[in-house]
Chain A
Amino acid sequence: MSESRATMLASIRRSLGVKGDERIRKAMVEDRLERAPKGVIPDRAQLDAAGKLALMLEKLEAAQASVARLASYADVPGAIAQYLRDNNLPASIRRGEDSRLDGLPWAETALEVSKGPSAGHDLSAVSHADLGVAETGTLVLASGADNPTTLNFLPDYHIVVLSAADVAGDLESLWPKLRRKHGKGAMPRTVNLITGPSRSGDIEQTILLGAHGPRSLHVLVVEG
């Protein structure tokens, strides 16, 4: 244990007038960590499935993401090819190992699909979101070989597939889902909450898109 760790903890305890071994304080902390109370949850996100989806779509657009609604996963490759064409982009795309994107009719398109993280040379990438948050139009992506984090930031055009069934109402409802998946108190290395394409307001407070991350964020919402 470093000297400063002991000094700082002692200083905190001196200021608070505590010793650090008080049972009641420990119990309060353990209880809070265990229960993880939810706090104030906005009414706006307490909706049925259709309502959540509608709010998600509305908020995605407000965050300046573009959206395409698809009937099934089989439509994903075609929708990607279409998007790249519409933006005059080469028909190539980078993706991770996510099995939800396996077995789709990629061969029916002219797309050149490569797998792996990005080293900065990919113009477009596709990821699969684990969840969506309707309240703010936020996409939740977890790191790993399935969806490498570099794909979320280095390409100019980021396409994200979101299953309508994975849209949650409010931010707080994400965490129990994450805990179920990764175990309580454990997390993937990186969880990205993404709300729209990259932007900066640092030049005369004018909001400009495409600062360091993707200039465009395109969301494919799969409803079937």
Chain B
Amino acid sequence: MSAHSTAHDFKANASRAIADTQLTGNLKAVRQNFIDKRAKAVKGLPEFEALRESGKEIKDHTLAHLDLYLEYYAQKVEESGGHVHFAADAEEARKIALDICRKVGAKTVTKGKSMITEEVGLNAYLEANGVTPVETDLGEYIIQLRGETPSHIIAPAVHLNKHQIEGDFRRVHTHLDPARDLNEKVSLLTEARGVLRDRFLVADVGITGANFLVAETGTSIIVTNEGNGDLTQILPKVHIVMTSIEKMVPTLEDASQILRLLARSATGQEMSVYTTLSTGPRRMGDLDGPEEYHVILLDNGRSAMLGGEFQDMLRCIRCAACMNHCPVYHQIGGHAYGWIYPGPMGSVLSPSLIGVDEAGHLPNASTFCGRCEAVCPMKIPLPKMMRHWREREFERNLNPALQRWGLGFWAFFAKRPRLYALANRLAIKAMALIGRKKGSFKGLPGLGAWTKYRDFAVPEGETFQAKWKKARAGR
């Protein structure tokens, strides 16, 4: 199971958020800061539009060949002395991470900012198993102190003001002078720097995410402004990268193209302060850096999105421009979405990853104003995909009981691909034989709602998958 979700309660969550005047006040920062900065950065680079096209092309190509790039990447990581672990779901990813920690007897783990570790609920799991995770990104650190989840994918504590943060620091940092002055924002930053510096130096394992994986060299790339991700990965004996399969790009050149889009779209910088390329463990003769390097590659529903109507979502580089420009996000903030991915990208991605039952309401959180798609550096058609989800949800609700029964039936086979293919082939052949004379069916068992108003076309004796394969092979 992935991290806990309250996305099914979206309507209640959203009404509560709108009524929270402190929250809506704090959220003004999103509108005021991110939008102008991005606009300025984009205006400053005449090639921005061409780069968007280039970024899209790179990701489309990579996704269409993802199996091959993953194999190549894994081989390169091993060649450089690192280890690659494939994790089909959240539970497996957590277990692999814990295993690595246990092998080195880790007590504390420092963490760079990583949405994937949020997705799999890593912190709670490590804690339950006697390993203390310490978030080191300032925003992540603040929300960890509060026991919250991030409300924004690049600014996790954007829903808080400095007085709230001061309250948390006073509550937790009890070893410091209670009379200290924390009125200035910079004194809050300095205090966190001091507290976390000590944690960095004693951590046994460092866990980061990755913004990119480079197949050519077996490299993982992180992008940060604070430098916390770097201290996380160079000081402990072990560096674990927990990331997901769609972060892949073929070459360093490809990563460079998308890096130009990322910082500008996210924070309006031309380049983030630290872009760090990590390849394997420390080399012979190196005087610092980790002795072990592990990459945990998470699937958790992503491979099933390939080849379908939601594949485009896998181009997402988590820049947050879509939520920064979303009038719904501006009103309700990130927590109301109920799971870790908020805003337009979350409304599209969450139902794919945790199911329509849980997150089916999220695609309704849209005014279809189209701003998200207009600013998305990877040209992801977010409104169109939200419409897809709505249509699916609508169809589902037409006949919930039957649909659910049908889905369960389908799921049984889908998990058994050979059986599925076989059953489909048999059923389709049978239908083709029976229906051949009439050209269509007036009624089919299990499809009453469909055949009540229309005829079911007779299959041509071949499954979609078989056709798809043929069409592909012909390219």
Contact = CB atoms under 8 A, between A and B. Distances in A.
Interface in A24-67: 24-26, 28-29, 32-33, 36-44, 59, 62-63
A150 B234 contact: yes
Contacts of B85: 2
A71 interface: no
B274 A4 contact: no
A16 B64 contact: yes
A113 interface: no
Contact of B227 (A33, A171, A213): A213
Given A154-B231, A204-B161, A190 B276 contact: yes
Interface residues of B, number: 113
A69 interface: no
A189 interface: yes
Contact of A117 (B139, B270, B278, B287): B287
A189 B233 CA distance: 11
Given A145-B285, A193-B275, A16 B307 contact: yes
Interface stretch (B298-306, B360-368, B390-398): B298-306
Interface string A174-185: 110010000001
Interface stretch (A6-14, A83-91, A104-112): A6-14
Nearest to B216: A33
A143 B155 contact: no
A189 B281 contact: yes
Interface string B317-349: 000000000000000000000000000000000
Interface string B289-314: 10000000101000111111000000
A105 to B, nearest CB: 26
Interface string B251-282: 11110110110000001011111111111111
B189 A211 contact: yes
A118 B275 CA distance: 20
Contacts of A202: 137-139, 142, 155-157
A103 interface: no
B215 A33 contact: yes
30 contacts: A7-B88, A8-B299, A11-B303, A12-B70, A15-B304, A17-B468, A18-B469, A20-B68, A24-B475, A36-B216, A36-B251, A38-B253, A40-B47, A40-B51, A42-B45, A118-B288, A138-B271, A138-B275, A144-B283, A145-B287, A148-B286, A189-B278, A189-B280, A194-B274, A200-B139, A202-B139, A202-B156, A210-B190, A212-B193, A213-B273
Given A17-B468, A171-B260, A194-B274, 11 more contacts: A4-B92, A5-B86, A137-B271, A138-B275, A150-B234, A150-B288, A153-B230, A189-B281, A203-B162, A204-B162, A211-B189
Closest 5 CB pairs of A and B: A213-B227, A211-B226, A202-B139, A15-B306, A11-B303
